[in-house]
Chain A
Amino acid sequence: MERVKNFDLSRTSVRELNQFLHHDLNAEHTDQVEILHPDGAHSIAAGVNAPVHIHVRGHAGYFVAGMNQQADVTIHGNVGWSIAENMMSGRVHVKGHASESAGASAHGGLLIIDGDASSRCAISLKGGEIVVGGSVGHFSAFMAQAGTLVVCGDSGPNLGDSLYEAVIYVRGKIHSLGADAQEEPMGHADYDAVGRLLNAAGMEYDPKDFKRVASARKLYHWNSEVHQEY
Chain B
Amino acid sequence: MGDRSTAWLLCEFAQIEYTRALSLQRDIAAAKHRGRIEEDLLLMLEHPPVFTLGRRGGRENLTVSEAFLSERDIPVVQIERGGNITYHGPGQLVLYPIVSLARRKLSVTGFVEALESVMIRIAADFGVSAVRDARNRGVWVKDAKLGSIGINIRHGVAFHGLALNVNTDLAPFSWIRPCGLSDVFITSLAAETGAATVAMEKARQAARSHFEAVFGVRLEAIEPAALERML
**A and B, one complex?**
no
Q: Which residues of B contact A (CB under 8 A)?
A: none
Using a CB–CB cutoff of 8 Å, the interface residues on chain A facing chain B are none
